[in-house]
Amino acid sequence: MSENNIILTGDRPTGPLHLGHYVGSLKTRVRLQNTGEYEPFVMIADLQALTDNAENPEKIRQNILEVTLDYLAAGLDPSKTTIFVQSHIPALTELPMYYSNLVTMSRLERNPTIKQEIKLRNFERSIPVGFMTYPISQAADITAFRAKYVPVGEDQLPMLEQAREIVSSFNRIYKCDILVEPEAILPDSSSCNRLVGTDGSAKMSKSLGNCIYLRDDEKTIKQKVMSMYTDPTHINVSDPGHTEGNPVFSYLEAFATDELFAEYGGDYKSLDEMKEHYERGGLGDMKCKKLLNNVMQETLAPIRARREEYAKDKGALLEMLKKGTEHAAEVSNETLSLVRKAIGIDYFNDADFIERFVK
C-alpha cells in the first residue's frame, strides 16, 4: 500500500471523558487531525463497553452523546475526522470471528492489560467470554480501517502488540498483505502516558472513580483539586516532600504550559524550581493546589464552553454520528470483502471456486 496515514482510536461510552483520556489520546488526535496529513477515524466503542456492562445497556445509551460532546469540545472536527459508533459496523463483528481462530486462550490470558482489568472488576473465574476476547475485537477495530497509527495511553500497548500478532498471522496464513500492522502514538511525557488518579492510584479511570471530567464545572474542579491526594509524608509545610507519584505534580507536569506557569506560578520561574522547593521542604500543599486549580480552570473552561454550545443541538449530533457511521461502514466493508477473499470463503463471487467446484 502507498502512503498510509490512517488513524484509528476510540473510547468506551461508559462515562464522560476525563483528563486521562484528554492527555493520553484525545489531544494527540486533535493535533494530528489538524495537520491535515492524516485520515482519522474515532470510534465510540459501545460493543466493547457491553463486554463488562451487558446487564446495564442503559449506562451505554446515556453516554453515547456524552462522549460525542466531549470529542467535539476537545476539538475533534467531524469535517476532518470520521466519528462513528462501533455496533453499527458489520465488519467489526465479523472480523473477530475470523481472528479468534488465530489466537490461543493462553495468549489472551497472558495479556497484562486484561489481567489487570479482570482483577479490577473482581471477575475471578466468572469472566464474560466477550470481555476475555475484547483484544481480538480491538484488533478488528484497527485493522478494519487498515489503520497505521493508534494514538493511545500506554495501558493500550499490550492491545497493539496483540493486534500486530493477529495481522502477521493472518497475512502469513492467508498469503496476503491486506492487513496493516498498527503502531501506537504515545504522548511524549511520562505523566501523560498514564495519568494518575486524583486518589494517587496508578491510573485515572472511570472504573476507579478517581477522575476529573472534561465536563466538570468550576466548583467541582476546585473541590476535586483541593481534596486531592498528595504526599502523605509531607505533614508540616517545612517537611521535605515527594513530587514523584504525587498527583498534584503529575497534573502540573501534564497541564501547566509555559504560558500558564508564567501567569500563575508566582515566584517560581519553572515547575522544576517549584518541585525542588517542595522536595527541600517549606512549600505547602495548599499553595501547589491553588496553582493547579488555576491551571485546570484555564484548561477546561474553553472545552466546557464548546461543549455547552454543541449540547444545544443534540439532533445535529446524532445526524453527524449517523453520517460518520455510514462512512466507516463503507470503508470497513472493503477490508471485509478482501479478508473473505483471502480466506477463500467468498464462494458466490470467486471465479476460481466456481471454475473448480461448480462448472
Q: Which residues are at the interface with ligand ATP (CB under 6 A)?
A: 9, 11-12, 14, 20-21, 24-25, 152-153, 155-156, 194-195, 203-207
- By beta-carbon proximity to ligand ATP, the closer residue of 131 and 170 is 131
- By beta-carbon proximity to ligand ATP, the closer residue of 48 and 82 is 48
State the nearest-atom distance from the C-beta of 309 to ligand ATP, in Å: 24
Distance CA 113, CA 227 (A): 29
State the nearest-atom distance from the C-beta of 293 to ligand ATP, in Å: 20
- By beta-carbon proximity to ligand ATP, the closer residue of 11 and 231 is 11
State the nearest-atom distance from the C-beta of 203 to ligand ATP, in Å: 4
- By beta-carbon proximity to ligand ATP, the closer residue of 14 and 332 is 14
State the nearest-atom distance from the C-beta of 239 to ligand ATP, in Å: 29
State the nearest-atom distance from the C-beta of 359 to ligand ATP, in Å: 51
Distance CA 305, CA 311 (A): 10
Instruction: Name the phi and psi angles at 123, rounded to 5.
Output: -70, -30
Distance CA 96, CA 116 (A): 22
Cα atoms in the 13 Å half-sphere on the side-chain side of 77:
11
Contact between 162 and 130 under an 8 Å Cβ cutoff? The reply is no
| 23: DSSP letter | I
- By beta-carbon proximity to ligand ATP, the closer residue of 10 and 265 is 10
State the nearest-atom distance from the C-beta of 326 to ligand ATP, in Å: 24
Order of strands, sheet of 183-185, starting from the edge strand that comes earlier in the sequence: 82-85, 39-44, 6-11, 149-151, 183-185
State the nearest-atom distance from the C-beta of 127 to ligand ATP, in Å: 15
The residue nearest ligand ATP at its CB is 24
Give the residue ranges of DSSP H helices in the chain.
Answer: 19-21, 27-35, 46-50, 57-74, 91-99, 105-110, 112-120, 129-132, 134-144, 157-173, 190-193, 218-226, 247-255, 258-264, 271-280, 285-310, 314-343, 351-353
Contact between 92 and 47 under an 8 Å Cβ cutoff? The reply is yes
- By beta-carbon proximity to ligand ATP, the closer residue of 9 and 339 is 9
- By beta-carbon proximity to ligand ATP, the closer residue of 24 and 324 is 24
Amino acid symbol at 96:
P
